[in-house]
């Protein structure tokens, strides 16, 4: 049933934890059965893409800087904006069990920036060096956050998310660009960050200023996730970068600026005004 009513929410403690620490682990957002279904859908999609595009390397997305934090020959399988490939992901990113909770963090109107499906393969799933997401797509008000859905369990040894609690309060920090925006690996080693192990069906949310990364998957099972990057629609980009198909789709509430100018979404409108 489609309704504007709010059915899900975070506790006052969860909201305070997010604002204090810059991240939040929300257990059981979807059921284990749903997570298992989406896991199959994710693996089928990656196999389809690899077959269509001429092999697994066509869906490899490991950052060049991953080799700075691991000597293993690691790989990462990836699909950008998975909702354009399977309606299961479209339904997921609009699901009020996600969006009602995100509304408690950034307000009632939630706009999609992009999604990323990641599979860290068994024994060699690639790490992410510590970084903020800010340099990839800077915005004015810093409402931007990521919610990672876990479709299978992600204990520490599977390369779970790692965070530096409270680091969002530092604001934007200079990054190294080579091999993907990342922080100096000697200064921000993975083993000094706080692990956020998760179970199938959980969601971990973090602000784009929160320093985060993840380790190598050394287990016998793949780690399968969908990262959903979202913002308040009135939080505009400050640089014309990282635009992608589907950006600006409303996941919850309204886009007050689109109501005033229906020709395009708020991000494109703002970028057009920068170029004028
Ligand atoms: O999925 C992960 O382990 C981390 C992903 C990440 O840091 C990113 O995409 O910026």
Q: What are the domain boundaries of the chain?
A: 12-275
Q: Regarding the domain with residue range 12-275, which homologous superfamily does it belong to in the CATH classification?
A: q2cbj1_9rhob like domain (2.60.120.620)
Ligand 1: does its nearest atom lie under 6 Å from the Cβ of 25?
A: no
- Structure pTM? 0.95
With a 6 A CB cut-off, is 118 part of the ligand 1 pocket? yes
Q: Report the percentage of the chain scoring pLDDT > 90.
A: 85
3 — pLDDT class (breaks 50, 70, 90): confident
pLDDT value at residue 55 = 87
Q: Is the pLDDT of residue 119 over 70?
A: yes
CB 204 within 8 A of CB 25: yes
- Model confidence at 17: pLDDT above 80: yes
Least confident of 1-10, 11-20, 27-36, 150-159: 1-10
- pLDDT for 21 equals 98
Nearest CA to ligand 1 atom 3: 214
pLDDT at position 263 is 64
pLDDT score for 269: 63
* 3-class SS of residue 192: helix
pLDDT at 11 over 80: yes
Pick from 188, 150, 146, 139: which is nearest to 167 by CA? 188
The model's confidence at residue 234, banded by pLDDT at 50, 70 and 90, is very high
Least-confidence region, from 10-14, 201-205, 238-242: 238-242
* Predicted pLDDT at 1: 80
For atom 7 of ligand 1, which residue has the closest CA? 213
pLDDT for 120 beyond 90: yes
For residue 133, which of 117, 120, 146, 118 has the smallest C-alpha distance?
A: 146
The helix/strand/coil state of 262 is coil
In the chain, the DSSP E strands lie at 23-26, 77-80, 110-120, 128-131, 145-150, 161-163, 194-196, 203-207, 212-214, 223-231, 250-252
Ligand 1 binding pocket includes 214 (Cβ within 6 Å)? yes
Q: Is 104 in the pocket of ligand 1 (CB under 6 A)?
A: no
CA distance 229 to 192: 25
Helix, strand and coil percent figures for the chain, each rounded to 5: 35, 25, 45
């Amino acid at each position: 049933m489609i309704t504007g009513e709010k059915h899900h929410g975070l506790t006052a403690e969860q909201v305070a934890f997010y604002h204090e620490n810059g991240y939040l682990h929300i257990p059981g957002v979807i059921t284990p059965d749903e997570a298992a279904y989406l896991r199959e859908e994710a693996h089928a999609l990656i196999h389809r893409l690899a077959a269509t595009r001429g092999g697994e390397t066509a869906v490899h997305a490991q950052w060049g800087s991953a080799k700075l934090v691991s000597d293993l020959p690691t790989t990462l399988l990836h699909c950008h904006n998975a909702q354009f490939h399977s309606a299961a992901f479209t339904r997921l990113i609009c699901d009020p069990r996600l969006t009602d909770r995100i509304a408690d963090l950034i307000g009632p109107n939630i706009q999609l920036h992009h999604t990323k499906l990641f599979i860290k393969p068994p024994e060699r799933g690639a790490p992410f060096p510590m970084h903020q997401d800010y340099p990839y797509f800077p915005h004015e008000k810093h409402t931007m956050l990521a919610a990672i859905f876990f479709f299978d369990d992600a204990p520490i040894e599977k390369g779970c998310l790692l965070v530096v609690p409270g680091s969002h309060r530092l604001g934007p920090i200079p990054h190294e660009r080579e091999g993907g925006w990342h922080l100096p690996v000697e200064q921000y080693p993975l083993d000094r960050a706080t692990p956020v192990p998760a179970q199938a069906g959980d969601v971990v949310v973090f602000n784009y200023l929160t320093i985060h990364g993840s380790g190598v998957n050394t287990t016998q099972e793949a780690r399968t996730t969908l990262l959903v990057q979202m913002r308040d629609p009135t939080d505009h980009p400050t640089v014309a970068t990282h635009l992608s198909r589907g950006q600006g789709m409303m996941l919850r509430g309204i886009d007050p600026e689109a109501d005033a100018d229906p020709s395009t979404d708020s991000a494109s409108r703002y970028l057009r005004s920068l170029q004028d």
